[in-house]
Amino acid sequence: MPGSGRSVDYFTVGANTNPTGGPVGAPGNFTGAESAHSGTAYAGIFCYYDQQGDYREYIQQQLQQPLIAGEWYTLTIWVSLADYSGYAVENLGACISSAQPIQSWLYPVLDNFTPQVVCTTAITTTQGWVPISYTFQATGVEEWITIGSFEIDLVQQHPAVVPAPLPYSWNPFAISNTNLNLGSYYYIDDITLERVPDPCFTWQDDCDAVNYYNSTFCPQLIVSEWWDFGDPASGANNFSTSSNPSHVFTQNNVQYTVTHIIWTANNTYTC
């Protein structure tokens, strides 16, 4: 991010070394080994580092134009914890803002911005990718997307994980002598922001359960409702009559079709 003295790493098939002497290829590189979620490349950032208080790196992009007020969008990010990381982090996510978040060297955490897209559980997956997604209605001023960890070390939860042994015969960071086993490093791929039809429900994927929210109907008009999560392997949990249910899907990287039926006094609506 400009002005912070920090940068995003870029890993791609066919790449060998960077100026600090570490491989930046894909799948194998100085942080572990992971194939791209799609294509041939992905990015990587530190979301926590044990010996440099509040050290953070962020991915940031300005949109070509602000989002359209009143329209609905889905933001999806695919993430994977690097093999040599000694920690994971909770509340990894993205902030969609009108102003550009600015990171400084002296105060590197963007805790004055609130991410709308968060994974409330620690992502510990090192083999394969986990999606973080959020569907929202734009106000018309959103122009910047910033991805990373927005909590200071005092409140951030960073559970320890068992890292793969460091295979280094070289120094991965010649300047900072960084030991990846002391940090939480995430690969980031396939960041998409898509305009979607006006839904009659919204959802928040917290990487464990998917939480659904009725967004169109005033609760006082609803007589009853029914949810079918399209996940028969979950048994009786495949269905719900709650207004705001939560469902843990039985498989990752599988597209499920969720059906929401609402009965009012005069009509039936299916989403």
The string of pLDDT tens digits covering residues 4-36 is: 567 899 999 988 655 444 678 889 888 889 999
Distance between CA atoms of residues 194 and 53, nearest Å: 36
Is it the case that residue 58 has pLDDT exceeding 90?
yes
What confidence score (pLDDT) does residue 70 get? 86
The answer, yes or no, to whether residue 73 has pLDDT greater than 50, is yes
- How far is C-alpha 4 from the geometric centre of its chain's CA atoms? 22
pLDDT above 80 (res 106): no
pTM more than 0.85: no
| Alpha-carbon separation of residue 123 from 92, 142, 207, 208 (angstroms) | 8, 27, 7, 9
Rounded distance between C-alpha atoms, residue 175 and residue 119, angstroms: 32
The mean pLDDT of the chain is: 81
